[in-house]
Amino acid sequence: LGFTPLCDGDIENSSRKYHSQIGVLSRNARGPFIRASLGHSGGFLCFGPYISLPAGRYSVSFLLRFLERSDDALNDSPSVVFDIVGDGGLVTYYKKIMTFASVDSTSLVNIEIEVISGASMVEARIQVPMRNEIWEMSLPIFEKVTPQEKKVH
């Protein structure tokens, strides 16, 4: 089971690393992204960054785009499995199967998770189950959600 480390120079902390079994890190005008190409046999497009999070609410966001597939996969809807796990996969904070209707479909994924008592080894994972599909995505961004201040009238 091989993987490619995807730690980009723009990621502030070197311990925040993204990896891929089926993709490579590239860069466009919007920043770094991971792209899988035809010829893979399915696997993780992205996993990482293996960070520790104190208790609180966090948003996780990224762009995901379905670009192309080979002719032998045309009868199935293109889909990926997206989850956020911690503690070596023992705790699941979020899990969803995302299905795309057509080629060149793009989705902005922005979800919130709650960490009750702190977590270690937190990672976002995007798994492409079908072989020979081309996907690309921006690197997931974890951000602490600050509570809105109550307005006094």
* Chain centroid to CA 71: 26
Instruction: Give the pTM.
Output: 0.80
Residue-wise pLDDT for 91-139, tens only, equals 999 999 998 877 778 889 999 999 999 899 999 999 988 777 888 999 9
Token look-up 């770094």 returns 32
CA dihedral for 106, 95, 115, 20, sign (positive or negative): negative
Residue-wise pLDDT for 3-45, tens only, equals 444 444 333 443 348 999 999 888 878 788 899 877 788 899 9
How far apart CA 26 and CA 12 sit, in angstroms, is: 18
Q: Determine the pLDDT at residue 115.
A: 94
Nearest to 138 by CA among 5, 3, 6, 22: 6
Q: Label residue 132 left, alpha or beta by phi (over 0 means left) and psi (-120 to 50 means alpha).
A: left
